[in-house]
Amino acid sequence: MRKLLTAIFILALLAGSFWVGSWYSRQETSNVKPSAEKSIAVNLDKSSDTVTDTSSLSPGTVKISPEKQQAIGVRVGVVEKKAVTHTLRILGRVAADETRIYKINSAVDGWIRKTFDNSTGSLVKKDELLATFYSPDFLGAQQAYIFALSSLDRFQASGKEPPQQITLTRANIQQYKDSLRNLGMGDLQIEEIGRTRLYTENIDLTAPVTGFVLTRNVSPGERFEKGKELYRIADLSRVWILADVYENEAEYFKPGVNVKFYLLHQKKTFQAKVSNVLPQFDAATRTLKVRLEADNPGYALRPDMFVDVELPISLPPAIAVPADAILDSGLKKTVFVDQGNGFFEPREVETGWRLGNRIEIVKGLTPGEKIVLSGNFLIDSESRMELAAGGMYGTLSKDPVCGADVSVNKAEKAGRKGIYQGKTYYFSSDECKQQFDKNPDRFIKK
């Protein structure tokens, strides 16, 4: 019985405490003054953002607070139209001029008798002795040549031979000289045989031009066969510069254009001229190989050296923006235009040339507008979310005049809609609606 009375007392105590608390709360609420309510309402109004009419802005326009812009690194720049000067810098490689490469091939079978100090990379002078060799094929040709020379001497000494015979003998001499030359004997050695009238077993290999030895395939005592390449010599007094350029850059390398290039480590500057030969396309690098032709004083340029090529380019006034300001999805190119008060509007643009980090804007921007230069990837994410919300909670329509996507809800709220031939059209601005009202058939046919 005592336990029951204790439980009833505790329940009564709890119920009394709850009633007292409720009564006190009602009393505090009724004591609030009307002036305080008004003050609270005024503060809320001051802290709210300014209301901006966004009905004329394209779908996907987002508003980003200054604090958030600073956090994501948004940087804005002014669109300008001005003349463009740019220095195109590319890497080039030195190559020997193919028209100045000389190959010394054997025309007969033979053996190398002696070689001289002219290893690969050596500079040799014209008619310098490279090596000597022996071949039995020269014996008969030398005999015929010496016999013809002796016959001519006898005919001229006797004075009895008719002029036709002397002319025929001179022709035979020239034929035998050509035979020796075709077998591989040089002009100097042929003339020496003509003076001395003596046979020789050692045939001289001489340099056909002053240049550098690119290839040497001879050694003393080596046997060689007809057609083998013995030496390859390049005249490097004039060389080629092969430069890889992208397709959009190749148009500036026109035939005859003068170009500068540098050997940075040697601090030397050279002049070159673009060749008339069409650039070759390299499937591996997906670039065009442009050929430059340059003089090589002092043989400072050697094959396979790398050089820095510079071509100054001047273009007429155009709108050009940094490449980072354009978002290229593959299907369209978009920039974000700063409309003020934290609003950023996506704008589709058409592009032209690209030089370095600058891209020409052909259509979509006007000078004086402000666009986002950095941080546009995060703005694009916000814009896509805005478009997704617009697709869920509203309908998009195509402006027949301006071609922009228009939010139906925003256009109706702003009164930018028109009805023609039973169909409703929505517009992104008052100007577009006015143009449509003047001549709707023009835009419907378009």
Pairing of strands 81-96, 327-328: unpaired
269-276 mean pLDDT? 92
pTM above the 0.85 mark? Answer: no
Question: What is the rounded CA–CA span in Å between residue 344 and residue 341?
Answer: 9
| Mean pLDDT value across the chain | 82
Query: Is-contact 255 276, C-beta < 8 A?
Result: yes
Please tell me the predicted confidence (pLDDT) of residue 295: 94
- Which tens digits make up the pLDDT trace of 239-264? 999 999 988 888 889 899 999 999 87
Please tell me the predicted confidence (pLDDT) of residue 65: 86
pLDDT band at residue 5 using 50, 70 and 90 as cut-offs: low
Scan for tokens 């050692």, then name that residue: 202
Please tell me the predicted confidence (pLDDT) of residue 296: 93
% the chain with pLDDT above 70: 84
Query: Residues of 316-326 as b/e, b for ≥16 C-beta within 10 angstroms?
Result: eebbbbeeebb
Phi then psi dihedrals of residue 352, to 5 deg: -120, -120
Query: Is-contact 394 409, C-beta < 8 A?
Result: yes
Amino acid at 173: I
Question: What is the rounded CA–CA span in Å between residue 247 and residue 89?
Answer: 15
- Which tens digits make up the pLDDT trace of 158-190? 877 788 888 898 999 999 999 999 999 988 999
Query: Residues of 403-424 as b/e, b for ≥16 C-beta within 10 angstroms?
Result: ebbbbbebbeebebbbeeeeee
Q: Which of 323, 394, 386, 377 has the alpha carbon at shortest distance from 352?
A: 323
Please tell me the predicted confidence (pLDDT) of residue 388: 61
> Which residue did the predictor score with more confidence, 133 or 36?
133
% the chain with pLDDT above 90: 41
Please tell me the predicted confidence (pLDDT) of residue 156: 84
Question: What is the rounded CA–CA span in Å between residue 139 and residue 117?
Answer: 28
Q: Assign domain 62-84+317-445 to its CATH architecture.
A: Beta Barrel (2.40)
As a dihedral over the C-alpha atoms of residue 308, residue 312, residue 313, residue 314, rounded to 10 degrees, the angle is 160
pLDDT band at residue 7 using 50, 70 and 90 as cut-offs: low
Query: Per-residue pLDDT for 22 more than 60?
Result: no
Please tell me the predicted confidence (pLDDT) of residue 6: 61
> Which residue did the predictor score with more confidence, 407 or 12?
407
- Which tens digits make up the pLDDT trace of 27-80? 544 444 333 333 323 333 333 344 455 555 667 788 888 888 888 888 999 999
> Which residue did the predictor score with more confidence, 111 or 39?
111
Q: Kindly state the helix (H) or strand (E) to which residue 70 belongs, with its residue range.
A: helix 66-72
* Tokens linked to 430: 């008052």
CA distances from 446 to 398, 400, 403, 440 (A): 13, 8, 10, 10
Query: Per-residue pLDDT for 25 more than 50?
Result: no
Q: Which CATH number fits domain 87-97+236-316: 2.40.30.170, 3.30.470.10, 1.10.3720.10, 1.20.1250.20?
A: 2.40.30.170
Domain ranges, ordered by start, for the chain? 62-84+317-445, 87-97+236-316, 102-230
Q: Which of 70-79, 196-205, 239-248, 427-436 has the lowest mean pLDDT?
A: 427-436
Question: What is the rounded CA–CA span in Å between residue 419 and residue 424?
Answer: 4
Please tell me the predicted confidence (pLDDT) of residue 9: 59
pLDDT band at residue 319 using 50, 70 and 90 as cut-offs: very high
Query: Is-contact 52 342, C-beta < 8 A?
Result: no
Residue 52: strand, helix, or coil: coil
362-371 mean pLDDT? 91
Bridge-partner residues for 307, per DSSP?
92
